[in-house]
Amino acid sequence: MLSRRSVRIKVMQLLYMLNRDEQLAFPDLVKEYNDGIWKTYELYILHLYLLLKVAQYAEKDAANRAAKHLPTDEDKAFTPRLYKNPCTQSLANHTDFLNIVAKYKINENIDDDHIRSIYLAFADTPEYKTYLALPEPANEDHTKMLLELYRFLLSNDLFLEISEDHFNNWPDDESLVVGAIKKSLKAMPVSGEFYKEFEPSDETVREFGEQLLRKTCQEDRALFEQIEPTLKNWDADRVAVLDMIMLKMALCELLHFPTIPTKVTLNEFVEISKVYSTEKSKDFINGILDRLMKKLVKEEKIVKEGRGLVE
């Protein structure tokens, strides 16, 4: 689930934290990094569990309707099919998934009133009412409804508030988590260790991310000394802190990660700068990295494994 771009962003944020607090020990930085990586996976589990809990409230809705003194025709026809269907039940009865929920203590931090409020808001949507009116829904219909529920959750202020309370940087990983949830829902009914696919991989987390963090820290001064001559009319002291961090990371990646194409490195940091830095940063970073690339290629300092990795 975790892409290299999201890892680069996490490393960048930690290096910025280090810049603000130079007393921060490197082992603490690595711990923050690993905690952040697993927090993304935990968020995936949280979203799946919240979706399950909202669907489960359909049972309570059915009981409330049945207890009415004068139930309407709609009340009489209501069934808790949002929860009582093979797709949702495959998650509700998945022992390993529920054990992971318990491991992260997610179930201990869910407010029943929040679940009720979210469900009642969703129950008022035309999509849900259309689903309830289906005479004999198939698994495809249940899956479609669960995807619709998740889309609704992503626009629900209370759901977003719960996500941010759990992980205040969650918008950084939103596209990853949303993509993983949709993939899981489309594969319903789930079975086996379906969640394993979305666990952080050692290759991305340690071999790439942790090494990028370590080497950028260790070679901070040397990286700066290679960047400074390419600044030309720019005063190094006036370069935005975040821009300098991205330049150092990009240079480190160019020099020490032989399997990553140079074009990928350059494009990734330009794209990251569009989101996290100033309006003019993308042009500045693109220009400096282009100069650095030409200089390093000329000096034969960039060594890549395989053809076409240096462009």
- With cut-offs at 50, 70 and 90, classify the pLDDT of residue 2: confident
Q: For the chain, where do the domains classified as CATH 1.10.940.10 start and end?
A: 219-298
Residues 6+ apart with CB under 8 A from 246: 12, 269, 272, 273, 277, 285
* The dihedral formed by the CA atoms of 22, 245, 256 and 230, expressed in degrees to the nearest 10: -120
Look at phi and psi of residue 134 and say left if phi exceeds 0, alpha if psi is from -120 to 50, else beta: beta
CB 220 within 8 A of CB 244: no
CB 208 within 8 A of CB 215: no
- With cut-offs at 50, 70 and 90, classify the pLDDT of residue 310: low
CA distances from 253 to 53, 123, 124 (A): 43, 50, 51
- With cut-offs at 50, 70 and 90, classify the pLDDT of residue 280: confident
pLDDT score of 140 more than 60:
yes
Q: Which amino acid is at 221?
A: R
Helix-strand-coil split of the chain, %, nearest 5: 75, 0, 25
Lowest mean pLDDT among 62-76, 115-129, 131-145: 62-76
pLDDT, residue 311, reads 59
CB 227 within 8 A of CB 292: yes
Which of residues 141 and 307 earns the better pLDDT score? 141
Q: Which amino acid is at 161?
A: E
Query: Which two structure tokens, joined as six digits, stand for 114?
Result: 């929040």
pLDDT, residue 110, reads 92
Max Cα-Cα span within the chain: 85
Nearest CA to 273 out of 262, 260, 259, 289 is that of 289
Chain center to CA of 215: 24
Fold of 219-298: N-utilizing Substance Protein B Homolog; Chain A (1.10.940)
CB 118 within 8 A of CB 54: yes
End-to-end CA distance of the chain: 28
pLDDT score of 235 more than 90:
no
CB 78 within 8 A of CB 132: yes
- With cut-offs at 50, 70 and 90, classify the pLDDT of residue 278: confident
Mean pLDDT of the chain: 92
CB atoms within 10 A of CB 105: 9
Q: Which amino acid is at 136?
A: E
pLDDT, residue 35, reads 92
What is the Cα gyration radius of the chain? 25
